[in-house]
């Protein structure tokens, strides 16, 4: 009897357990890997990926419209994201253990262990072009210092590659991202986790984490640039930062790069005292009122590359419509061209419309 169910061709990254194959899957040597009618499970999805099969024909699950899934939904449902999330959790645990050893002054830091953990997370993301999408999907939970540190390390690693750094410099920049906030382990949790605005005295205590972090790392056998990032990541190019109010020419390059990764991740993650801010609102601020605080030598190429990672992502606009980012406006990165149904909306021209949310 003919099967009149609607089948769809999907990327293997969008395959989910329970889907039924609509067509046989063949290897490149024309051998049958799985027959039509097979119900996908984790083992079968892994088998398909083992044979480097990029797309498959499936019958969507009841109530599931595969063709209308947002990119974020596709990522969350993918095998890569499940593996990414698992590796992410493991890396957070390893980082916590490393911080405990440093606080207890139990010998030298195991750089290789920490850097291998970050490399594993990036590899599980399916490529650096997808890492920001993966991080966007994993932001639903927050363990403040440790998760933020892992995020900043991953973002810094991407930044290093975009800036064409050497492999060794990228490794040290990644380590700097991991350790930049280690001083916060010395700040009382009731202050770090306070849901209301901090008092002047409490904020002054928080600001001490840069000095405390440097003090924890200064005698360790690690790259001096990593130590300086712990001290300088809240300094700003215009002299408005802390602890010493230094300006761009007085700052370590690593510190200026990690400071951008730090503020980008901090603002786009949920916090106990506020909800996450849309990445495009953060980018708009960094292009506008905040731009003088950061060295343009690093800020401009980093913003260009960050925004490119959001092409093809679904977004909700301030007028309530939903569309997909299709092209960046190089002169105004926070205002890309968005396709809403069959209409292309140039946000650089529609000044009263902004991106409110990546969905």
State residue 1's pLDDT score: 45
CB 37 within 8 A of CB 74: no
State residue 74's pLDDT score: 67
State residue 129's pLDDT score: 59
In tens, the pLDDT along 74-121 reads 667 777 788 888 888 889 889 989 988 888 887 788 999 999 999 888
Nearest to 251 by CA among 222, 231, 277: 231
In tens, the pLDDT along 135-158 reads 877 755 546 778 899 999 999 999
* DSSP string of 304-338, one letter each residue: HHHHHTTTT-EEEETTS-EEEEEE--TT-TTS-EE
- Count of beta carbons in the 10 Å neighbourhood of residue 92: 18
**pTM given for the model:** 0.76
Q: d(Cα 318, Cα 306) in Å, to the nearest integer?
A: 21
Instruction: Give the residue ranges of the chain where pLDDT is below 70.
Output: 1-5, 11, 13-14, 61-75, 126-129, 139-143, 270-275
Q: Is 63 left (phi over 0), alpha (psi -120 to 50) or beta?
A: left
Helix, strand or coil, per DSSP, at residue 272: coil
Nearest to 109 by CA among 98, 120, 97: 98
Instruction: Write out the two tokens for 277.
Output: 């801010």
**Pairing outcome for strands 355-358 and 314-317:** antiparallel
């Amino acid at each position: 009897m003919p099967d009149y169910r609607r089948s769809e061709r999907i990327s293997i990254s969008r395959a989910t357990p329970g889907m039924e194959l609509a067509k046989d899957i063949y290897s490149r040597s024309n051998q049958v890997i799985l027959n039509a009618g097979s119900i996908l499970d984790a083992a079968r999805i892994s088998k398909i990926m083992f044979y480097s099969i990029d797309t498959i024909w499936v019958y969507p699950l009841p109530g599931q419209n595969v063709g209308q899934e947002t990119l974020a939904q596709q990522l969350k449902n993918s095998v890569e994201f499940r593996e990414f999330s698992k590796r992410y959790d493991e890396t957070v645990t390893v980082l916590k253990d490393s911080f405990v050893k440093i606080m207890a002054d139990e010998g030298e830091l195991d750089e290789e262990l920490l850097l291998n953990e970050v490399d594993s997370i990036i590899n599980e993301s399916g490529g650096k072009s997808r890492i920001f999408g993966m991080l966007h999907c994993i932001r639903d939970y927050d363990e403040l210092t440790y998760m933020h540190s892992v995020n900043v390390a991953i973002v810094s690693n991407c930044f290093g590659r975009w800036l064409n750094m050497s492999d060794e410099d990228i490794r040290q920049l990644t380590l700097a991202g991991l350790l930049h906030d280690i001083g916060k382990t010395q700040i009382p949790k009731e202050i770090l986790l306070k849901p209301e605005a901090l008092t002047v005295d409490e904020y002054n205590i928080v600001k001490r984490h840069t000095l405390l972090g440097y003090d924890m790392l200064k005698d360790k056998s690690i790259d001096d640039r990593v130590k300086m990032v712990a001290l300088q990541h809240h300094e700003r190019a215009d002299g408005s930062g802390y602890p010493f109010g230094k300006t761009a020419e007085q700052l370590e390059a690593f510190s200026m790069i990690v400071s951008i990764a730090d503020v980008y991740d901090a603002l786009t993650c949920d916090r106990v005292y506020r909800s996450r801010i849309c990445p495009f609102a953060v980018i708009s601020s960094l292009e506008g009122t905040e731009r003088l605080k950061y060295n343009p030598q690093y800020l401009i190429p980093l913003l260009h590359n960050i925004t490119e990672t959001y092409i093809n992502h679904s977004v909700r606009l301030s007028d309530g419509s939903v569309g997909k980012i299709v092209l960046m406006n190089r002169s105004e990165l926070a205002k890309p061209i968005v396709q809403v149904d069959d209409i292309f909306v140039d946000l650089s021209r529609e000044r009263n419309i902004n991106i409110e949310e990546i969905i």
